[in-house]
Structure 1
Amino acid sequence: MIRCVGAVIHDQHGRLLLIKRANDPGQGEWSLPGGKVAPGEDDETALRREIAEETGLSATVGPPAGRLTRSGSHYTYDIVDYSCRVSSWELSPGDDAADAMWADHATFTTMRRSGVLTEGLAELLEQWDRLPREPRPDS
């Protein structure tokens, strides 16, 4: 079993941070930033490293949002996704991220319908109440 971490990050407008995977598993799919926990790393250290490598952002790691087990072609992944905060919003994709974006509710819904998200991501985020937030009408 391979330990992995992921980041659930919303910006000040309720948009969700997504990255497009550059490599397998999930090459070409949009997912949460994250990756494998290296030997000697704790989850927080690994997640801060992965967020920086994939998005160029510095993050504060918060509590777990949820946990899942995913079977790959050769390995099983134990993934803990954490709620995180960032202080800047400008993205600089790199490492395992071919691209990165802040997805609003409408964009995320379109991506979900078109099948470009990592399998099961939308359902898990919905279960964890972590989907992008719909815009609020002006008061």
Structure 2
Amino acid sequence: MTRVLAASAVIVDDVGRVLLVQRGHEPEKGHWSVPGGHVEEGETFAEAARREVLEETGLHVEIGDELWAVEVPYDEYGVFEIHDFAATVVGGTLQAGDDADDVRWASDADLDSLPLTKGLATYLRRSGAMSRR
């Protein structure tokens, strides 16, 4: 089975909302997730997370601690090994770009009404990421 290395960033604003992107491609096209994607050859997970945030949201971020790592199987795509990092916005202008159909800030309550990627709400809540400001 193919292993796909990926990295994402959890960005939380001053009122505890998390930045989400609506996926523009499979797997899980149309679902909301934190910004992230494939690790390119020669990149660290943190470097990939920083690059993906810029490509998908237009924001420059400082990458912090790794919050969690998870393996997510997608039948025809293989297993994604995803490393998620805390991140802080340091510049840029928020706009959907690259393979994101939309971007938005979401409160904890919003997580229950949005179609999220597999397990995202659980990981966000378990990590306490949305309460860190």
**Under a length normalisation based on structure 2, what TM-score does the superposition of the two structures give?**
0.89
State the number of aligned residues: 128
The aligned counterpart of 1:109 is 112
1:31-110 matches, cutoff 5 A? 31-72=33-74, 73-88=76-91, 90-110=93-113
- Which aligned runs of 4 or more in structure 1 are off by greater than 4 angstroms? none
The aligned counterpart of 2:118 is 119
Q: Deviations over 1:73-106 (max 9, x none)?
A: 2311111100000035841111111000011233
Structure 1 unmatched ranges of 5 or more: 134-139
Greater gyration radius:
1
Indicate which of 23, 26, 30 corresponds to 2:25.
Answer: 23
Instruction: Answer yes or no: is the 8 Å Cα contact 2:60–2:92 preserved in 1.
Output: no
Residues 117-126 or 25-34, more deviating? 117-126
User: Once superposed, what is the RMSD of the aligned Cα atoms?
Assistant: 1.5
Indicate which of 6, 9, 17 corresponds to 1:7.
Answer: 9
Amino acid at match of 2:78: Y
Greater share of residues in strand: 2
Distance 1:89 1:10, change over 3 A: farther
Q: Deviations over 1:113-132 (max 9, x none)?
A: xxx111211111122122x4
Structure 2 unmatched ranges of 5 or more: none
Taking only the aligned residue pairs, the percentage that are identical comes to: 37
Deviation at 1:40, TM superposition (A): 1.0
Instruction: Answer yes or no: is the 8 Å Cα contact 2:58–2:92 preserved in 1.
Output: no
**Under a length normalisation based on structure 1, what TM-score does the superposition of the two structures give?**
0.85
